[in-house]
């Protein structure tokens, strides 16, 4: 059985955003069963858990002796499994490469800017340095989102007319700024995010994560 680590508890502002959700979603899309391994603060610092996840974070993944960490790497692995079929990556090599590039774009070109803004807003709102930094952080987030919207255009999905692991990670990243109206202000991105999160696999993954915290 595949095992995925997840937190026993997080503050309300983080519920539905913890990155084990990305792995749960990928597994749901691929039709693969898994067992959550719930950890707490003590576990995060333990030698046993650090041997699985060197930074003490979640998610970590285990399957038949293979241990992985980092949500992007885990989603890529799940997408490439033979028993996942083409649920997350197309078989055609060129189309697969295009879907994969969007996975990396989500994690490298978009997420750092959105996460920076979210950290300022949610963790340091009263700090003078954060107040000074916020306008620039918001502008950078807006710029990246505008770039993404331009690349998406009027398409339903980012690459080759089909949902892929690139869309899964991009939608997960866009949800990082759910406390703002930044995505909602761009109709194409708002509709895109709605399409992604309306997928039954996402709904099952979110419900499973939130059940640990007492439901949605």
| Closest to 166 in 3D by CA, of 111, 106, 82 | 106
**Pair 189, 136 in one domain:** yes
80-89 residue pLDDT tens:
999 999 999 9
43-96 residue pLDDT tens:
999 999 999 999 999 999 999 999 999 999 999 999 999 999 999 999 999 999
Tokens for 19, please give them.
């990155």
**Pair 120, 183 in one domain:** yes
Q: Which residues contact 53 (CB under 8 A, 6 or more apart)?
A: 5, 59, 60, 69
**Pair 130, 162 in one domain:** yes
**Pair 127, 167 in one domain:** yes
CATH number at residue 82: 3.40.30.10
**Pair 149, 121 in one domain:** yes
| Closest to 83 in 3D by CA, of 20, 34, 22 | 34
Tell me the pLDDT band of 214, cut-offs 50, 70 and 90. confident
**Cα–Cα distance for residue pair 114/140, rounded to 1 Å:** 8
**Pair 206, 159 in one domain:** no
Domain interval for residue 168: 93-199
The pTM of the full predicted model, rounded to 2 decimals, is 0.97
**Pair 99, 188 in one domain:** yes
**Pair 154, 208 in one domain:** no
CATH number at residue 161: 1.20.1050.10
Unique residue bearing structure tokens 């994969």 = 100
**Pair 17, 82 in one domain:** yes
CA atoms 193, 97, 112, 201: torsion sign: positive
Total number of domains constituting the chain:
2
**Pair 188, 101 in one domain:** yes
**Pair 68, 99 in one domain:** no
161-195 residue pLDDT tens:
999 999 999 999 999 999 999 999 999 999 999 99
User: Quick one: angle between helices 128-152 and 111-123, nearest 10?
Assistant: 150
**Pair 116, 174 in one domain:** yes
């Amino acid at each position: 059985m595949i095992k995925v680590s997840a937190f026993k508890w997080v503050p309300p502002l983080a519920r539905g955003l913890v990155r084990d959700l990305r792995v749960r979603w990928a597994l749901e899309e691929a039709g693969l069963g898994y067992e959550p391994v719930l950890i707490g603060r003590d576990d995060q610092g333990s030698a046993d858990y650090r041997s699985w996840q060197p930074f003490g974070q979640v998610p970590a993944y285990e399957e038949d002796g293979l241990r992985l960490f980092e949500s992007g790497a885990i989603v890529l692995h799940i997408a490439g499994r033979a028993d996942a079929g083409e649920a997350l990556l197309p078989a055609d090599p060129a189309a697969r490469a295009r879907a994969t590039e969007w996975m990396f774009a989500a994690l490298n070109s978009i997420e750092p800017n959105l996460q920076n803004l979210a950290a300022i807003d949610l963790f340091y709102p009263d700090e003078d340095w954060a107040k000074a930094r916020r306008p620039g952080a918001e502008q950078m987030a807006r710029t990246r989102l505008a770039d993404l919207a331009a690349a998406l255009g009027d398409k339903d999905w980012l690459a080759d007319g089909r949902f892929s692991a690139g869309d899964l990670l991009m939608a997960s990243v866009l949800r990082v700024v759910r406390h703002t109206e930044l995505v909602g202000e761009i109709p194409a991105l708002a509709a895109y995010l709605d399409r992604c999160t309306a997928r039954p696999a996402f709904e099952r993954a979110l419900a499973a994560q939130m059940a640990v915290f007492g439901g949605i």
